[in-house]
Amino acid sequence: MARELTTGVNAALERRERLLKSYQDIKHQLRLIQAENNHFLDMIAETFPEVKDDLSSSSSDSDSDSDDGNDRNNDYGTHTDASDAGDGTAALSRRYRKRHGVSPLATDARMVKRRRRQGKRDDRNDPKPIEPVARDSSGNIIFPMVIGHGVDEVRILSLGTIVSDRDSYHTSRYIWPVGFKSARRYPSMLDGMARCEYTSEILDGGDMPVFQVTAEDMPESPFRASSSSGVWKQVLDVLMANGLGVKTHASGPQMYGLSNLAVTKAIQELEGADKCSKYIMQKWLTPNGSAGVVQPPRRGEDDGLGASIADTSPPVKPPSATTAAFYTDDEENYY
CA distances from 216 to 70, 187, 189 (A): 30, 11, 10
What pLDDT, on a 0 to 100 scale, did the predictor assign at position 319? 36
pLDDT in tens, 2-59: 888 888 888 888 888 899 888 888 988 887 787 777 777 776 766 665 555 555 443 3
Q: Is the peptide bond before 222 cis (omega within 30 degrees of 0)?
A: no
Using the CB atoms, write b or e for 256-273: b if 16+ within 10 Å: bbbbbebbbbbbbbbeeb
What type of residue is 194? A
% pLDDT > 70, the chain: 61
Work out the burial of residue 230: count CB atoms within 10 Å of its CB; fewer than 13 is exposed, 13-18 middle, 19 or more buried: buried
* Pairing outcome for strands 135-136 and 128-129: unpaired
Q: What 3-state class would DSSP assign to 123?
A: coil
Give the whole-angstrom CA distance, residue 310 versus residue 301. Answer: 11
CB 262 within 8 A of CB 134: no
pLDDT beyond 50 at 209: yes
* Arithmetic mean of pLDDT, 51-72: 43
CB 130 within 8 A of CB 284: yes
Give the whole-angstrom CA distance, residue 121 versus residue 50. Answer: 11
User: pLDDT tier at 213 (50, 70, 90 boundaries)?
Assistant: very high
What pLDDT, on a 0 to 100 scale, did the predictor assign at position 264? 96
Nearest to 42 by CA among 76, 69, 66, 65: 76
User: pLDDT tier at 231 (50, 70, 90 boundaries)?
Assistant: very high
What pLDDT, on a 0 to 100 scale, did the predictor assign at position 110? 55
Give the whole-angstrom CA distance, residue 125 versus residue 293. Answer: 10
Give the whole-angstrom CA distance, residue 40 versus residue 280. Answer: 27
CATH of 128-334, one of 3.40.50.620, 3.30.160.360, 2.160.20.60, 3.40.50.300: 3.30.160.360
CA distances from 147 to 73, 151, 215, 247, 254 (A): 32, 11, 20, 21, 11
Domain boundaries, given as residue ranges, for the chain: 49-121, 128-334
* Arithmetic mean of pLDDT, 274-298: 76
What pLDDT, on a 0 to 100 scale, did the predictor assign at position 124? 75
